[in-house]
A and B are shown apart, each in its own frame.
Chain A
Amino acid sequence: MSVNLGFAQASNDFLIAALLIYSVAVLAFAGDYAFGRPRRTAAAKAAAVPAAARLATVGAGAASGSAGAGSAVGSAESAAPAIPAGSGTGKVPAPRVGAMKAIWEAGPWVRVAAAFSALGMVAHLVAVVTRGLAVDRAPWGNMYEFITALTCVAAIFFGYIVVRYRAWTLGVFVMGAVVLALGLAETLIYTPAGPLVPALQSYWLSIHVTAMTLATGIFFVAAVLGIMYLVAERYRARVAAGKTQSGNGLIARIPSSAQLDRLTYRTVVFGFPVWTFGVIAGAIWADQAWGRYWGWDPVETWAFITWVIYAAYLHARATAGWRGARAHYIQLFGFASLITNMLVVQVFITGMHSYAGVS
């Protein structure tokens, strides 16, 4: 049960390095907004040809009739060559261009941002792994380790979204939130590497907490997307009502509200079963450790509340009158309850889950 101090030190160093590299990446993402090439022209063209948009987007969110071209969320510049804006005569969509090529073509700022994000992810992952090696267990036994790991999940999941949907315009928001969370963890609740109390000495730690970490990281990304949706949708509604001119520099850069809506939904659909699994695994562990599988411990109660709210979001999205902004508010409430659980209930309310190690 001793701590390997070399690995512990390496973990701390790599985490600081990851934080610095991420910060550079966020600056580069922001630089792309400030100085990068404008890209909405292609989208505007695509929107003018409804047939093209319809060909490419199956079941686009009802919120916006003028979905951008292609199912690729991200700049329409990259999507446009990927899916030919052809006629409705039945051309099978061509395969997309490779992610690397698309990033390369997106300009120097995106190139730098993507490279630094990737480098930061490697450093971050090394920090998490060396922490695990230092303490010889799953490295998410207290709040500091938990936030370190979940931000790593969020960063890697964001990397996947960039590759899958070309969504680097979200970088400044997602990676910005990651840097913020990681910075707060590093400065406010740093906990040195140490062994676990007996209650946490179980292989269920790796199962239950891993699932919760993954789900939290995924919901984290969904929450950022949801906020962006609300901004984009508000802007779209104002343009539609004639209250403002389209072509606002910043908002024109982010994906359309319909694309964000769909991407948020897919992200939640990915996170919800992971969360469900985490709750079930937690119940099995609770039965092993405490003699009951569900006891309405404050943390259990809030995990249940979070689950119910995300379930409400999934239902709301299939209910007339609740789609769009209302559903997104529900989703954000879900994330708020998750954060309440993590930062308020686990730290300030005494219960059987009081392992945060924050004092």
Chain B
Amino acid sequence: MTDTRTPQPPPESVAEEVEAAHSFSGAKEERGTGRTAEPTAASAGWLRWGWRQLTSMRTALVLLFLLAVGSIPGSVLPQQGTDPGAVQQYFASHPGLAPWLNHLGLFNVFAAPWFAAIYLLLFASLVGCVVPRTFRLVGAARTPPPRAPRNLARLPQTSSYSSTLPPEAAVDGAAAVLAGQRFRLRRSGADDRQRDGASHWVSAEKGYLREVGNLLFHLSLLGVLLSIAAGGLFGYKADKLLVEGQSFSDTTAALDEFHPGRLVSGSDLPPFSMTLNKFTANYIQSGQSRGQPSNFDADVSYTASPGAAPGTYHIRINDPLSVDSLKVYLIGHGYAPEFKVTGANGQVTYDQATPFIPANTGTFQSDGVVKAPGTATGTDLGFMGVFVPTAISVGGTLDSIFPAADNPAVSLIGYTGNLGMNSGVPQSVYQLDTTGMTKVSGSPHLLAPGQTWALPGGKGSVTFVGVKQWVSLAITYDPGQMPALVCGILALAGLLLSFFVRRRRVFVRAVPAASGSGSVVTVGGLTRSDAGGGFEEEFSELAAEIAAAEPAGHSEPEPSTKPEPSKQSEPGA
């Protein structure tokens, strides 16, 4: 991310610029281009060659591309992690292709070994680049700025003025200005005398925070990756469908689905319990967005642990409930019509609210089944139902025109026979296996709340008692969340520093004037990294300030402006 645009000066100034830019941090110095010499020796040479290849910018670029391209199938194909149902559907509709895609891990891209290989290589490349750079930054922070080049007029930014002061005093004044702007200084010393003759100079450098930011950004990305890994190892996610009036406690048996992290077992779950008192959904009643939901609210009571004081909360979308370290989210809702089924002998065999799954999330027309085992073999009753919250009959077909339960109705198809619930094979509560059953009547039977359908032939009856609602809740625990957030913010801070701080050097050299008294002072400056622009302005202001800080007769240098690089170092260095 370091900008290494190199100015292309005429040849005679190259020496000065190279000298002035000595050990200026830049990616060019930090990362090779990948075109390193071929290995000559045995395995150690190959290893070194391989490591250089891996940590080269060219390889990093290729890995970044692979990461981008590798992510695409994850958004185009259904993914096991987000929508397992869609993956099954894909298998059903593409029986030839799907197994091949599955072999390549394309239904679980972000957990696939090849995807992990890309990002792990990328991070290895990053570490291989960042660690040496960190050492180099520490080294740079302990090394004073380079000597001032001989001819400052050949630097990209220059300015000169004549001073009434002798060279040493003129440079003292300039050094005071630079020190006041928190530049890190190096003054010409006695050992430079031979090289510089009668001239004096000061070198000043600033902007180490740029490299600090760059390193912070890359290390924080590593931190984000580790946080995600921690969440995957120690966190968990569970789902629970809860009908109004029902309760559950947080145990693996009570949860509908439980996805623990690698290092989590069921006994690690906090012992909280919860009851859904009431669920409210509001919909826009009129206008163009009629039927669009405007508010969801799940009124719950909970206890954090057995014996703890119970609390109540309104879980809403964007407003989860926090219990201990875990959070409970409202992620879905639907209707649960209540049915009462009576067998042929008059005994009630089923009496409960039955969650139906929305087939249309706009109108909440929902599908579900009722399974009422009979008292004797072959007398089981089963019903396939369609629930509509606001019923309307269009040409004899039942439809829903509004998602709220304004005029609820169910349409049932009844079956008798053997449900197969004792066969030991687990069944879905949302599907009816009709292989061992016979249809009670040809056409579906429509019921409004309170109505009863007496099955023909005295096989029993079913009553549509009323309607309740259900919510689906997600219960999550992710210990990596907060570290990931912190690392994300640090990465952003590092990014801003590395983009908007510039590393720059300013040199001031004073030579005795030809007239004999006073001196000619030249100020030169250069930067290697000016993405945001503005060094020109900064330099011209600084040069003007240095020239203006030239009080006639002020020749006593302040002791504090004497060169003491170790104490003048930058805060970020």
Contacts and interface: CB of A to CB of B under 8 A. Distances in A.
Interface in A238-280: 265-266, 269, 272-273, 276-277, 280
Contacts of A115: none
A319 B57 contact: yes
A89 B153 contact: yes
Interface stretch (B137-145, B372-380, B476-484): B476-484
B314 to A, nearest CB: 13
B293 A269 contact: no
A272 B492 CA distance: 10
Contacts of B289: 194-195
Question: Which of under 10, 10 to 19, 20 to 34, or 35 or more describes the interface residues of B?
Answer: 35 or more
Interface string A292-328: 1111111001101100110110111111111000000
Interface string A197-213: 11101101000000000
B249 interface: no
B223 to A, nearest CB: 13
B254 interface: no
Nearest to A261: B5
A284 B320 CA distance: 13
B51 interface: no
Contacts of B9: 54
Interface stretch (A25-33, A36-44, A59-67, A229-237): A59-67
A296 B110 CA distance: 8
A58 B5 CA distance: 9
Contact of A194 (B153, B288, B295, B317): B288
Given A273-B492, A318-B1, A284 B485 contact: yes
B278 interface: no
Interface string B532-546: 110110011001100
B296 interface: yes
Interface string A58-100: 1111100100000100000000000000001111110000000
Interface in B498-534: 499, 522-523, 526-528, 530-533
B44 interface: no
B79 interface: yes
Among B1, B474, B476: residue with most chain A CB under 10 A:
B1
Interface residues of A, number: 73
A176 interface: no
Nearest to A54: B9
B528 A59 contact: yes
Among B284, B318, B526: residue with most chain A CB under 10 A:
B318
A318 B1 CA distance: 7
A1 B499 contact: no
B82 A195 contact: no
Given A315-B60, A317-B3, 18 more contacts: A54-B10, A55-B158, A60-B7, A65-B8, A194-B292, A201-B318, A273-B492, A276-B492, A288-B318, A291-B320, A293-B478, A296-B74, A296-B82, A301-B72, A309-B65, A312-B68, A315-B64, A322-B58
25 contacts: A1-B284, A54-B9, A58-B527, A60-B5, A60-B7, A62-B8, A65-B8, A90-B153, A199-B318, A201-B295, A202-B318, A265-B3, A266-B533, A273-B499, A280-B485, A288-B320, A290-B331, A292-B237, A295-B81, A301-B72, A309-B68, A312-B68, A314-B1, A315-B57, A318-B3
Interface of A: 1, 3, 50-51, 54-62, 65, 71, 88-93, 192, 194-195, 197-199, 201-202, 204, 265-266, 269, 272-273, 276-277, 280, 283-285, 287-298, 301-302, 304-305, 308-309, 311-312, 314-322, 337, 345, 349
